[in-house]
Amino acid sequence: MEPTIYVDMRSQPCRAVVMFLSCSTIPHIISKVDVLKGDQKKPEYSSLCPLMKVPGMKDGSLSISESVAIIRYLAAKFPDKYPDHWYPADLSRRAKIDEYISFHHQGMREPLSGLVEKILFVPEPLPKERIDEQVKFCNVSLDVFERVFISNTPFISGDEISVADALAVNEILDTNVCGYDFTKDRPKLKEYVDRIRTRLGPDLFDQIYEESKQWAKEIKESKQ
């Protein structure tokens, strides 16, 4: 039986896992979890993934959460079923990707996903200064990202796309749901995002973003 991957496609780490899977022949079944309806807290899911977050994965008697753990598990279990550059067997190339992955949660997700959280998932709107402060945090982090991870190379690990880019691009674009497009004033970052879309193929990329774009549209309309 193939692994089941539990996702809500409005979620950045879920889209990163799906991007990797879509560029592989790793056998899998996708099962949808609606986070906005609270499916992640229902016993069917929380008994498998007690962290009650998506993505999740079940493979036989193993069930885990955390996008990075899921990607690493699938890459290790199916090494011949994805183009090597996604998570190279070569130690040095893999180390470059692992360097970004280790940076990712604090360095990118905390500021960027934090902004989405502070705008969309608070009971009362926060004062403008709190939002400005978070936007500043995002910009400081994106400065580091541009300077350290994509200063001389088209992708994080060099000339080819990898799981690091899948994780990064999904955080970079996620703030669009709440009206913040950080690629607007950052040509280097915009080129990077466009390069990933081209490399994946615009059809696949847009398909992965479809539910998120629809959600962004609904949020925008609800504010008018």
Ligand X SMILES: N[C@@H](CCC(=O)N[C@@H](CS)C(=O)NCC(=O)O)C(=O)O
Q: Binding residues for ligand X, per CB under 6 A?
A: 11-13, 35, 40, 52-55, 66-67, 105
The two three-digit tokens of residue 19, written as one number: 């991007």
Q: Which is nearer to ligand X, 54 or 189 (CB)?
A: 54
How many CB atoms are closer than 10 A to CB 124?
Answer: 5
- CA neighbor of 212 nearest in space, from 163, 172, 155: 172
Q: How far apart are the two ends of the chain, measured CA to CA in Å?
A: 47
In the complex, minimum distance from the CB of residue 23 to ligand X, in angstroms, rounded to a whole number = 19
Q: Which is nearer to ligand X, 114 or 154 (CB)?
A: 114
Of 58, 67, 27, 78, the residue nearest 164 (C-alpha): 67
DSSP code at position 126: P
Find the Cα–Cα–Cα–Cα dihedral 215, 217, 221, 222, rounded to 10°: 20
Closest approach, Cβ 53 to ligand X, in A, equals: 3
Smallest separation (angstroms) from ligand X to the CB of 141: 16
With tokens 């500021």, the residue in question is 111
Euclidean distance between CA atoms 127 and 95, whole angstroms: 41
Which is closer to ligand X, CB of 53 or CB of 186?
53
CB of 34 to ligand X, least distance (A): 10
For ligand X, the closer CB: 68 or 190: 68
- Identify which of residues 11 and 162 has a Cβ nearer to ligand X in the complex: 11
Q: In angstroms, what is the minimal distance from the CB of 146 to ligand X? A: 22
